Amino acid sequence: MIYKSLLVLSWIYIVFGMIGIFRFQNMYARLLTSSKIDTVATITILIALIVKSGISDLSIRLLLIMIFIMITNPVNNHIITRSAYLNGVSIEDGMKK
């Protein structure tokens, strides 16, 4: 029951994050929102899978995957944003006209 509610919560994160992506006008704000959706929803799904599997070999592997995602997703978003900034992509490039 708990894992099902965690899965539903992850879908709620994804839906509200997608609404945020469409509502933000700024390209950099959209990048930040997409990174948060990806990280938080994935972590919530992995926690649901850990709860479902119980304490086992699989839960240790899922925990390692979760730690890896917590480290790499913010770094990926930073690299993408920094490369856009260094290549001269302005804030207005992502705005609706």
Work out the number of other CB atoms within 10 angstroms of the CB of residue 94: 16
Domain hosting 39: range is: 2-94
* Cα–Cα distance, 35 to 17 (Å, whole number): 10
What pTM was estimated for this model as a whole?
Answer: 0.82
Q: What's the confidence (pLDDT) of residue 24?
A: 86
Structural domains in the chain (count) = 1
Residue 30 predicted with pLDDT over 50: yes
Q: What is the DSSP string of the chain?
A: -HHHHHHHHHHHHHHHHHHHHHH---HHHHHHHHHHHHHHHHHHHHHHHHHHH-SSHHHHHHHHHHHHHHHHHHHHHHHHHHHHHHTT--GGGGS--
Chain segment 44-76, per-residue pLDDT in tens: 999 999 999 999 999 999 999 999 999 999 899
